[in-house]
Amino acid sequence: MHGVNVSQSSSSPADRRLSALVRHLEGSSMDSANHSIAAAPTSGSTGARISVFDHVVRAPEDPILGVTVAYNKDPSPAKLNLGVGAYRTEEGKPLVLNVVRRAEQMLVNDSSRVKEYLPIVGLADFNKLSAKLILGADSPAIQENRVTTVQCLSGTGSLRVGAEFLARHYHQHTIYIPLPTWGNHTKVFGLAGLSVKTYRYYDPATRGLNFEGLLEDLRSAPSGAIVLLHACAHNPTGVDPTTHQWEQIRQLMRSKALLPFFDSAYQGFASGNLDADAESVRMFVRDGGECLVAQSFAKNMGLYGERVGALSIVCRTADVAGRVESQLKLVIRPMYSNPPIHGASIVSTILKDRTMFQEWTIELKAMADRIISMRQQLFDALRGRGTPGDWSHIIKQIGMFTFTGLNSEQVAFMRNEYHIYMTSDGRISMAGLSSRTVPHLADAIHAAVTRVA
């Protein structure tokens, strides 16, 4: 098994979470091992005032969000931020969808709306419509009431609630995540008390999917293990299995009773088609088996700061779904009590109105098409410059991100010489590009490839 165990199981979920937290803190405390931690007065002491937190060391910047911090400090007018996972217009500006503005105005104009707490599980309409969006309105699981959906704090919160539930109520405490994956996955699952291992996914040689390695690692996984799957537009590689490959993955996972946990952050944002981007999830639901799905509306509705997401758990029976929901409430209540109302109200307003839904799909496809256009323009620019190497992976990959294949030295060179910012693994956000900035990026990549090993 090509796995890396980054957390260990303990006798109980609480113990596992505590152990994970201790290990997390130990990593920081080692740096300050030579500093004594004196008992510090909290008030009324004479002489030098010493904080009770003097032993706290400065944590490193988040590897993704830290890119923006560095970018903001750069005074160069030519600087370009390709690290952040947020859509930008051709002019490089954040976009609020017209349909979102219209829905928001409708909510503001409705004087009957109040600001009362939502139930623990969130806005009922939002939950129902979110499940239909990802599973399909004709999903047997929905028709048979075998799905429980709870509103969560975007995709991250949905993953964390699901992880906490599994740590308490699922017999296997090992989760396999693709290598590579979104940087936050390891922390989300590890701090929830799950043991995190990896399965092979990306092949640097082809800049595509290591499908045989993926199958081999999942075959070697213990029966019943949890497997994290990116529903579409894999982050950070932009490499997705084909429909035929998804079917092989499904058959293998069901044969070994592996539990699928889908992370769906880009439905409709990858191909421009909501149904096509949900097909991997629906494939697993159609066979009658169980699975978890974390949804985010950050990308496909541009609601990044509203933190709107949902966790759906597909169960064998309606009775089980009801009991699962009762336990999800016990996870959520001490975590954040209940979710915010505004963003979920925007989503439900759009999803339940046929005209607004249609308007959303048009705007969504326009965003997806612009990203696809940026891929083609960058590929053409590199080919036109005669940049060494095969860059066809740029147009073969899908979604917001491209895994360029650039190494950390080349990334540092581009930052220092061309003021282009990206994560050290060479991932770039295609949504941060424009027709104006493609030539600058192509020049930088050409220089990095030809001048830096």
Cβ atoms 143, 170 nearer than 8 A:
no
Q: Are 399 and 364 in contact (CB under 8 A)?
A: no
Stretch (H or E) spanning 444:
helix 438-451
User: Amino acid letter at 345?
Assistant: S
Out of 277, 299, 360, 391, which one is annotated catalytic? 299
State the CB neighbour count (10 A cutoff) for residue 436.
Answer: 10
Show the DSSP H helices in 136-273 as ranges: 140-143, 154-169, 184-191, 211-220, 243-255
* Active-site annotation holds for 299: yes
Question: Which 8-state DSSP code applies to residue 311?
Answer: E
For 23, list phi and psi in degrees, rounded to 5: -65, -40
Catalytic site includes residue 31: no
What is the separation of C-alpha 278 from the centre of its chain, rounded to a whole number of angstroms?
15
Point out the catalytic residue in the list 263, 277, 360, 391.
Answer: 263
197 carries an active-site annotation: no
Give Cα 334 distance to the centre of its chain.
23
Distance from C-alpha of 340 to C-alpha of 328, rounded to nearest angstrom? 17
150 forms beta bridges with: 311
Question: What is the set of active-site residues?
Answer: 182, 263, 299
